[in-house]
């Protein structure tokens, strides 16, 4: 059993946060890919209104991205999805407070984190997730769910006040992690190991494309795809269905 330990605060929180992180490339056209569809349906079961946080995508791309995700969520189970990019900050806050699900899309992680802090949505999302509202994030959206943005793969295209992220998932995320045998596998693994030499107290969860891990009821389970857990001087490959942490 791979251990990414959860603190007592995580264990005792009621209700328990429900957070799903995806390595990216989770779409098949206007639907979620077959590999990701079942867990997305389970994760958002009972939701009727999901807020889309698309800050990481370029403004010119947000309308198109919203439309794809609206169709994907409707296919999940007749869930209405609406993006915050069409409304002002006060209305965005109101929608976050009223939503029963949150989905944060991919793109530029530094832009995403900057906007979460600038708008005050960082705090609102943390509060909603702590209250039990399910959160899912893909690529950049997975990065900001972690403890901090440390292994993002992104260029710093925007200034940020801090690398501290939402900290609703108990690891640092590396999305789009290559599978063994891919040309860039060794380089990525080496970069993460170098990062951990400078940050030895951190744990990095690496997720391949369309790979998913889920925090639910106080434990993290690797659901589907390819994944690795990196710690200083230690690497564990994980398999679907494997529990990645347990509460003590």
Pairwise CA distance, residues 106 & 185, whole Å: 21
φ/ψ region of 71 (left if φ > 0, alpha if ψ in -120 to 50, else beta) reads: alpha
Out of 43, 176, 177, 211, the active site residue is 176
Active site residue 176: yes
219 by Cβ neighbours in 10 Å (0-12 / 13-18 / 19+) ranks as middle
**Number of residues that make up the chain:** 248
Pairwise CA distance, residues 113 & 207, whole Å: 20
Active site residue 154: yes
Q: Are 104 and 150 in contact (CB under 8 A)?
A: no
Pairwise CA distance, residues 128 & 178, whole Å: 33
Active site residue 159: no
Out of 57, 138, 139, 211, the active site residue is 139
Q: Are 36 and 118 in contact (CB under 8 A)?
A: no
Out of 55, 154, 177, 209, the active site residue is 154
Residues recognised as catalytic: 139, 154, 176
């Amino acid at each position: 059993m791979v251990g990414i330990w959860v603190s007592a605060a995580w264990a005792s929180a009621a209700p328990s946060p429900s957070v799903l992180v995806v390595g990216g490339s989770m779409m098949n056209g206007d639907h979620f890919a077959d590999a990701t569809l079942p867990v997305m349906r389970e994760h958002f079961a009972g939701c009727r209104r999901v807020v889309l946080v698309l800050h990481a995508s370029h403004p010119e791309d947000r309308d198109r991205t919203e439309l794809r995700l609206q169709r994907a969520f409707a296919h999940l189970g007749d869930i209405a999805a609406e993006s915050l990019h069409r409304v002002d900050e006060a209305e965005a806050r109101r929608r976050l407070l009223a939503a029963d699900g949150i989905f944060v899309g991919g793109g530029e992680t530094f832009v995403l984190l900057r906007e979460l802090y600038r708008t005050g949505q960082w705090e609102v999302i943390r509060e909603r997730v702590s209250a039990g509202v399910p959160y899912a994030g893909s690529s950049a959206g997975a990065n900001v769910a972690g403890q901090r943005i440390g292994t993002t793969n992104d260029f710093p295209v925007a200034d940020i006040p801090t690398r501290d992220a939402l900290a609703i998932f108990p690891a640092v995320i590396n999305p789009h992690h290559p599978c063994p045998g891919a040309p860039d596998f060794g380089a990525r693994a080496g970069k993460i190991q170098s990062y951990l030499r400078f940050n030895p107290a951190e744990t990095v969860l690496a997720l391949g494309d369309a790979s998913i891990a889920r925090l639910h009821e106080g434990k993290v389970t690797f659901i589907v795809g390819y994944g690795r857990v990196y710690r200083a001087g230690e690497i564990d490959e994980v398999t679907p269905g494997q529990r990645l942490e347990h509460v003590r």
